[in-house]
């Protein structure tokens, strides 16, 4: 039996006032991972393979690791990053890592790849 996937967050678990500094990776992913560790994503591959049930702890752990990798590659707070991936869990792992370190994520569709890397402004 698959784990329960809530459609909407429980309003009693949300802060009454927004924080002065908000970071989705820290304030949502890490908090859910350390408290209830709810199901964060149900991923079914386009080929109809076995579904993957991914919890917040998965995204917390992998985004910490990916943030270290991105920092080692030279990404810094305030940088911008384009993520060109199909809808797979890795997209959220990398996006959460970038958000965690203060890198602005510029999501795009895989259709943008047809323009080639030369069209990306650095």
* Whether the Cβ atoms of residue 37 and residue 57 lie closer than 8 Å to each other: yes
d(C-alpha 44, C-alpha 89), whole Å: 10
d(C-alpha 68, C-alpha 70), whole Å: 5
The segment with the largest mean pLDDT, out of 15-19, 83-87, 114-118, is 83-87
pLDDT score, position 1? 47
Cα distance between the two ends of the chain:
47
Q: What's the mean pLDDT in 83-112?
A: 89
Model confidence at 121, pLDDT cuts 50, 70, 90, reads low
Indicate whether 5 pLDDT > 70.
Answer: no
3 state SS of 105:
strand
Indicate whether 76 pLDDT > 80.
Answer: yes
Indicate whether 4 pLDDT > 80.
Answer: no
pLDDT score, position 101? 97
Average pLDDT of every residue of the chain = 83
Return the structure tokens found at 37. 């560790």
pLDDT for 6-59, tens place per residue? 555 666 776 677 778 889 999 889 999 998 888 888 888 888 888 989 999 999
Give the residue from 60, 97, 59 showing the smallest Cα distance to 79: 97
What kind of fold does domain 14-119 have according to CATH? Rossmann fold (3.40.50)
Question: Domain coordinates of the chain in residue numbers?
Answer: 14-119
């Amino acid at each position: 039996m698959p784990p329960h996937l809530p459609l909407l967050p429980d309003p009693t678990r949300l802060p009454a006032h927004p924080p002065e500094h908000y970071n989705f990776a820290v304030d949502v992913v890490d908090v859910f991972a350390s408290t209830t560790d709810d199901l964060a994503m149900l991923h079914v591959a386009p080929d109809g393979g076995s579904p993957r049930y991914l919890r917040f702890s998965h995204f917390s752990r992998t985004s910490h690791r990916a943030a270290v990798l991105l920092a080692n590659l030279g990404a810094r707070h305030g940088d911008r990053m384009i993520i060109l991936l199909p809808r797979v869990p890795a997209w959220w792992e990398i996006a959460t890592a970038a958000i965690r370190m203060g890198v602005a994520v510029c999501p795009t569709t895989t259709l943008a790849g047809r323009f080639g890397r030369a069209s990306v402004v650095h």
